[in-house]
Amino acid sequence: MSAREKVFEAYSYRTSSRFGSRVKVSIDEGMVAVTGPRVGVLIYRLWIVVQVIVFWLIVPALLAAAGLWDWRYLILALVLAVIHWAVGTFGAVSLWELANVNAFSEGTMGTTVEFPVSAVKGVKIGRGWARNGLWLVIPLYMPGLNRMAEGYCVSFEAPERETGRDAVYALHMQTKGMAQSLANLLGEHKLPDEERETA
């Protein structure tokens, strides 16, 4: 590690960067490197699509229950809600933990993705991490997650080689001071004075 390298430990939300669980973030010589458990493009997209379809099928089921006055549609809505929860939980617990186990077996911390600091855009702290439609997957959980993220979660977009598009990174830091430090290194974003803490 060079004298100028800045290294952070964070918890990655499961956004389109496809990282999850604990990650290491380092910034050195104008480059950002994120290392941690990561799943493949197809697996991630399938996980997201299934959750979106199942969740939004709940709406017509509830409308049918109200319009047709049929309790069976309420049962269907409840079953769909349980399936949505189960798919989300299975992915969060199993997919990234499997990536963790694989990395451990290989003697690494996981996959490393690098990109220039100059390519980073849309740096935010707190709300805004579930951008580009991610909120459609978990609308019921958004209020709680946004409260947890406030002041601690640094989110931004950066190029993603495998998809050829920008991916969203959402990194939950240990303190607000660390979040501010990382955000400052990535771009310009200021917390209100009363929310600042030392790292």
189: which strand partners? none
Q: Please say whether the beta carbons of 39 and 19 come within 8 A.
A: no
Residue 198 lies in a domain: no
Average pLDDT over residues 23-47: 94
Tell me the pTM: 0.84
Assigned domain for 199 exists: no
Q: How many helices (H) and strands (E) in the chain? A: 5, 7
**Rounded to an integer, what distance in angstroms lies between the CA atom of residue 62 and that of residue 49?**
21
Where would I find the H helices in 25-122?
A: 41-68, 71-90, 96-105
Range(s) of the domain holding residue 152 = 1-187
State pLDDT tens for residues 115-127.
999 999 999 999 9
Give 37-65 pLDDT, tens digit per residue.
999 999 999 999 999 999 999 999 999 98
**Mind listing the pLDDT tens digit for each residue in 141-187?**
889 999 999 999 999 999 988 888 999 999 999 999 999 999 999 98
For residue 115, tell me if it sits in a domain: yes
In a domain, 196, yes or no: no
Q: Does 139 map to a domain?
A: yes
Summarize pLDDT for 92-139 with one digit per residue, the tens.
Answer: 888 888 888 888 888 778 899 999 999 999 999 999 999 988 888 888
Within a domain: 192: no
Torsion angle of alpha carbons 19, 25, 30, 31, nearest 10°? -40
Distance CA 38, CA 20 (A): 6
In a domain, 175, yes or no: yes
Number of domains in the chain: 1
pLDDT at position 63, please?
A: 92
8 A C-beta contact, residue 157 and residue 122 = yes
Contact yes or no for 131/122 (Cβ under 8 A) = yes
168 within domain boundaries? yes
173, two tokens:
């830091």
